[in-house]
Chains A and B, each alone.
Chain A
Amino acid sequence: MAAAQVILTERLTRRFGEATAVDALDMTVERGEVVGLLGHNGAGKTTTVRLLNGVLAPSSGRAQVLGLDPQRDGVALRRRCGVSTETPSVDERLTGRQGLRFFAEVYDVARERVEPRLAELLAAFDLEAAADQRVGTYSKGMRQRLTLARALLHEPELLFLDEPSSGLDPVAARAVDERIAGLRDGGTTVLLCTHNLAQAQALCDRVVVLEHGKVVASGAPTALAAELGARLAVRVALRLDDASAAPGLLADVPGIDQVVTQQAEPLELRFEAADADAIAAAVRALVRAGADVYAVERELPSLEHVYFALHRGERLAHGSSGRLVADDGVQRAEVAAGQRAQGEEVRS
């Protein structure tokens, strides 16, 4: 295990009876990275977190976290990790302060540091005013913030965040994202389990996409998106006397499809183009028809495109072990011979 590697798994597998929750997972996380573990419910994200914390024993394969074996050195390892669980997992009958104090004791925070640390975190997570109220009276956003504060109590080297924005309203979700960004900027290594693709795209250096416990793709979000060859999505703002005719003008342009009127007033079209030449041809067709074109904007391929493309591919080629790896800078698709079919399906 290289010194910079904080997490290393080799064919890590966990079965529950007949079901395989995590299937031969190979993954590395380096110090200071924020890595997103993406996947829908039941993809194996939470089981992976439990395996990496020594809470569950693997059925086969191995893991090393912070240089320790989670199974053998679970107690020592958990002392250096913080986990924000998917459900807030905070006792409603305790006050926020009591709950944090309990975990400070259990995490063996130095006695003289407990109260100052509590004050620090309650202030940082905007919970000071409610600190002595029962958690049962807290909103979902407050509970989530309390969960994050709990995970940070002992200043862990490695942070596992399991769906930290789950069920939050946009304002609360953004506040949580800002906290995570702050941690990232402070150099904390974070494994972020989420199915919030926008969050992963904004916060993660790399993502690992899980399906049925298997890694189906990994890499930098933008690199992955480009590697998957998502078609170019384009938005055009224009004025045309007969606005309803606009989509029809593009119907015969080679390389253009999926044309929709995004907005009627002012008129905005959205379409997908095979390449840049197709975009130019589309603009020419619009101008020839008398349109005034105000703006042409290319949408960057997002992680969302990747995710849904992979999801479609998984369904089309279910059972194959298609896996795509993309590095920032040098992008490469590792689609082995038997897996190429899936890669092609994804592109279709």
Chain B
Amino acid sequence: MNLRAVRAIVVKDLTVLRHAKAVLIPLIVVPLVMLLVLPALAAFAPRLADLPGASDLNALLEGMPAAMQARLAGFSEDERIVVLLLTYLFAPLYLILPLMVASVIAADTFAGERERRTLEALIYTPTSDMELLVGKLLAGFLPALAVAWGGFAFYSVVANLAAWPTLGRLFFPTGMWFVLALWVAPAVAAVGLGATVIVSSRVSTFQEAYQIGGVVVLPIVLLVVGQAAGVVVLSTGFVVALGAVFWAVALVLLRYGARTFRRGELMARA
């Protein structure tokens, strides 16, 4: 493997990305909403719960499965709402970040580059198909990892600040969140990359690749809904298993993507 060429592809793609507003804006706005605005709103949750007609939050708490109720047992009623939101309900939303970053960048570096007709020069270079693929995958994976881990650190600060008026102490990150950030988030990013690589070889534009590849967000949406409905309870054991499933899916997608990745076929669609 020609690591110099792989590195050059990664550096070039990331340099190009820095100047691509259409790609960059969602990569900044969505994390800000997820990691700053939502947890900040959680700080007001106890006060909202006291308002007349705000029965939904209380109902949500009461509807939680016994396992979740047990985990929140040591907290007061106000504390329970804040901890439930910041530790459990927002956890699946956090996973959307690495998935989105990886998918957007992969769609841009595969389908987008073909759409801009800049891929043609690249396919004539003395890189193997594998080097080309690895370079482009890393160009999506590394920023996804940076956003996931940087976002985790940022969220830890914001969550503690948001919860401070209610809890009066540091409570975050939990063990489950460490597993989520270090084990599940990279897996989710890999799933997004695998799906987008496969989709990108079959469509012509960045938009198509991104939209069709976006289907992989569904399992995460199911997690959000499942937790809110009390069907799923995120625990350390559960997220370890969840990560393993995501890694397995990523492996299948990436292997299939690598097997079908042929520079000539990419150009045939240009």
Contacts and interface: CB of A to CB of B under 8 A. Distances in A.
Contacts of A108: 2, 4-5, 126
Interface string B74-112: 000000000000000000000000000000000000000
Given A55-B267, A56-B264, A106-B8, A91 B118 contact: yes
B12 A94 contact: yes
A87 B120 contact: yes
Interface string A84-117: 0101011111100010001101111000000000
Interface stretch (A71-79, A192-200, A281-289, A296-304): A71-79
B128 A50 contact: no
A57 to B, nearest CB: 7
Given A55-B263, A85-B120, A75 B15 contact: no
B226 to A, nearest CB: 41
Nearest to A108: B4
Most buried by A among B5, B15, B124, B267: B124
A1 B82 CA distance: 77
Contacts of A16: 268
B109 to A, nearest CB: 11
A53 B12 CA distance: 23
A87 B124 contact: no
Interface residues of A, number: 32
Contacts of B5: 105-106, 108
Classify the secondary structure of B's interface with A.
Answer: helix
B49 interface: no
B202 interface: no
A57 B120 CA distance: 16
A55 B126 contact: no
A323 interface: no
B16 A75 contact: no
A45 interface: no
Given A106-B5, A106-B8, A85 B121 contact: yes
A78 B264 contact: no
A15 B225 CA distance: 50
Interface of B: 2, 4-5, 7-9, 11-12, 15-16, 19-20, 113, 116-128, 263-264, 267-268
4 smallest CB-CB distances across A and B, nearest first, come from: A105-B8, A79-B126, A89-B121, A56-B264
17 contacts: A56-B268, A74-B128, A75-B126, A77-B126, A79-B126, A89-B120, A93-B15, A94-B16, A98-B12, A102-B12, A103-B125, A105-B4, A106-B9, A106-B127, A107-B126, A108-B5, A150-B121
